[in-house]
Chains A and B, each alone.
Chain A
Amino acid sequence: MTVGTAKAGNDERTGAGRAERAEKGTWRVKKGLAEMLKGGVIMDVTTPEQARIAEEAGAVAVMALERVPADIRAAGGVARMADPAVILEIMEAVTIPVMAKARIGHFVEAQILEALGVDYIDESEVLTPADEEHHIDKHRFKVPFVCGARNLGEALRRIAEGAAMVRTKGEPGTGNVVEAVRHMRAMMSEIRKLAGMAEDEVAAEAKRLGAPLELVREVKRLGRLPVVNFSAGGIATPADAALMMQLGADGIFVGSGIFKSKDPEARARAIVRATTHYNEPEVLAEVSKGLGEAMRGIEIATIRPEERMQDRGW
């Protein structure tokens, strides 16, 4: 039997006492896509060719960009949303979800990305912020958002604004995992602290975190964030990816780490395998072999304060 593709409204069976009403853009489907990405690697790509390499290597999604963070850092100036033509080419090239970045607070870039049909918007500190006070009101969109955070309070502020996925910020484009570790440790330790706290201490903790009380209560009850939490910013090797997973990440973003390395295909495959088997050192040893040179890293102390991307957003 072959089933046709009748559209809602002209399906004669809808009259048979059935409630066939589709609700799009609900909180559950926004959050749900991130849940489907768990245990996976999301890779920054700048061309359809790179997107295909990422998909072939087993990436769960790609981030469509004009330039990877390392090049944005090197170029300086104002970094904006990518050219829609680049994003569309990448959407054409692969069947996995395609994400794209909007500037912090730039809700019109987000409207454009939603109109293009991207699967997730990253309101990202990698781009130059458009608003130093307000993030995007993400509840207004059907497309889900992921946002960066350095600690629990920042994560919950983003979730309150409608982010359906969080990623720790790290320091993008450095190939140095130290900031990613700092942020993941901060978040996990604050969650553990909350879990052990008496109920009557939670309100004061919410105030200290600068986060809505209901969300703080929910974190206490769940013992984790109410949305998926990936790690980003500085992951360059399979061991880095497994480190972040062992520290509690639900999955990994790799920005410059893959296509700034000597052998992107091999490295992409290895990082995917390391993320799946993050708890098995023998597998990690095997996949780490002979990958060629990783991206050249940057020591965090050499970055001038105004060039630290993680301090963008609040």
Chain B
Amino acid sequence: MGTTGTVRIGVLDLQGAVSEHLEAVEAAGGAAVPVKRPEQLAGLDGLIIPGGESTTIGRLMEEYGFTEAVPEAAGEGLAVYGTCAGLIVMAREIEDGVPGQPCLGLMDIGVVRNGFGRQVDSFEADLVLKGLPGGPFRGVFIRAPYVKRLGAGVEALADFDGKVVMVRQGRCLATAFHPELTGDPRVHQYFLEMAARAGEGR
């Protein structure tokens, strides 16, 4: 964490809803930077892996060395938050994944891609998020995955229709839904606090 006290959050800028996360981080009081190269991870308190196509993001991450660099930085204290495709990329196992689709194994979870169906089944719904103040949170689910298997150290923070849609394990956070599309900063604020604490521990 910088001496000014501002939490520095990188947003992985390979494909997907990057600008929405940059804006959401700034709105939550952090400093946001787009990350296109592994060397840009240095000096960050947290990294957001945005929503997009998980196969595309996964392949580009592999090609540009992020599949080694991100777990390494996470091991050294970098907080990581993945939304939708980001959740898939962070998982240990992907059900119905495309052969060769990389997964970082940052969280001990098994996920199901397109777990709620195709785009015609994409939906919005009010969610209760454990540990977040201020009432229900509008969940925007777009061809969303869900978490089918949770390992021992993983905490479920929200579910919908009996499916786990928000998880935390240590300094890693993941949501199947898209807080960056709602204008509600609470999930980003929650992550910024995680990242600030992660920075203190280093």
**A residues lining the B interface (CB < 8 Å):** 1-8, 11, 13, 18-26, 28-29, 32-33, 35-40, 55-56, 58-61, 95-97, 114, 117-120, 142-144, 272-273, 276-277
List B residues 154-168 near A (Cβ within 8 Å).
Answer: 156, 159-164
B17 and chain A: residue at smallest CB distance: A35
B96 interface residue (CB < 8 Å to A): yes
* Residue contacts A-B, CB under 8 angstroms, 22 given: A3-B150, A11-B161, A13-B162, A22-B160, A22-B161, A24-B120, A32-B140, A33-B122, A33-B142, A36-B53, A37-B52, A38-B17, A38-B19, A38-B52, A40-B16, A40-B52, A58-B55, A60-B52, A97-B53, A114-B120, A119-B120, A272-B60
B190 interface residue (CB < 8 Å to A): no
CA distance A58 to B52 in the complex (A): 11
Task: Please give the distance in Å from B95's CB to the nearest CB on chain A.
Answer: 11
User: In the assembled complex, which residues on chain B have CB atoms less than 8 Å from the CB atom of A277?
Assistant: 36
Judging by beta carbons under 8 Å apart, are A39 and B18 in contact? yes
List B residues 128-182 near A (Cβ within 8 Å).
Answer: 128, 136, 140-143, 146-150, 156, 159-164, 178, 181
User: In the assembled complex, which residues on chain B have CB atoms less than 8 Å from the CB atom of A117?
Assistant: 118, 120
Judging by beta carbons under 8 Å apart, are A39 and B125 in contact? no
B147 and chain A: residue at smallest CB distance: A3
CA distance A36 to B97 in the complex (A): 18
User: In the assembled complex, which residues on chain A have CB atoms less than 8 Å from the CB atom of B52?
Assistant: 36-40, 60
Name the prevailing secondary structure of the B interface residues: mixed
A21 and B126 contact, Cβ closer than 8 Å, known pairs A40-B15, A272-B56: yes
Number of interface residues of B (CB under 8 A): 53
Task: Please give the distance in Å from A53's CB to the nearest CB on chain B.
Answer: 12
CA distance A100 to B67 in the complex (A): 33
CA distance A58 to B60 in the complex (A): 8
CA distance A35 to B143 in the complex (A): 12
A29 and chain B: residue at smallest CB distance: B122
B30 interface residue (CB < 8 Å to A): no
B14 interface residue (CB < 8 Å to A): yes
CA distance A23 to B123 in the complex (A): 5
Task: Please give the distance in Å from B123's CB to the nearest CB on chain A.
Answer: 4
User: In the assembled complex, which residues on chain A have CB atoms less than 8 Å from the CB atom of B84?
Assistant: 36
**B residues lining the A interface (CB < 8 Å):** 13-20, 36, 51-53, 55-56, 59-60, 63, 84-85, 96-98, 113-114, 118-126, 128, 136, 140-143, 146-150, 156, 159-164, 178, 181
Name the prevailing secondary structure of the A interface residues: loop
CA distance A13 to B124 in the complex (A): 19
CA distance A115 to B133 in the complex (A): 41
Judging by beta carbons under 8 Å apart, are A119 and B53 in contact? no
Judging by beta carbons under 8 Å apart, are B125 and A3 in contact? no
User: In the assembled complex, which residues on chain A have CB atoms less than 8 Å from the CB atom of B128?
Assistant: 18
Known: A32-B122, A95-B96. 4 other contacts (CB 8 A): A22-B160, A36-B16, A117-B120, A276-B36
Judging by beta carbons under 8 Å apart, are B14 and A39 in contact? yes
CA distance A119 to B122 in the complex (A): 10
Q: Which of B121, B124, B125, B162 contacts A11 (CB 8 A)?
A: B162
User: In the assembled complex, which residues on chain A have CB atoms less than 8 Å from the CB atom of B121?
Assistant: 24
User: In the assembled complex, which residues on chain A have CB atoms less than 8 Å from the CB atom of B16?
Assistant: 36-40
A23 and B124 contact, Cβ closer than 8 Å, known pairs A3-B164, A37-B52: yes
Judging by beta carbons under 8 Å apart, are A2 and B149 in contact? yes
User: In the assembled complex, which residues on chain A have CB atoms less than 8 Å from the CB atom of B97?
Assistant: 95
B112 and chain A: residue at smallest CB distance: A5
A59 and chain B: residue at smallest CB distance: B56
CA distance A119 to B143 in the complex (A): 9
CA distance A117 to B84 in the complex (A): 21
B128 and chain A: residue at smallest CB distance: A18
Task: Please give the distance in Å from A251's CB to the nearest CB on chain B.
Answer: 8
CA distance A59 to B51 in the complex (A): 15
A276 and B122 contact, Cβ closer than 8 Å, known pairs A18-B128, A22-B161, A60-B52: no
Q: Which of B14, B55, B114, B140 contacts A28 (CB 8 A)?
A: B140
CA distance A23 to B160 in the complex (A): 13
Q: Which of A21, A36, A40 contacts B125 (CB 8 A)?
A: A21
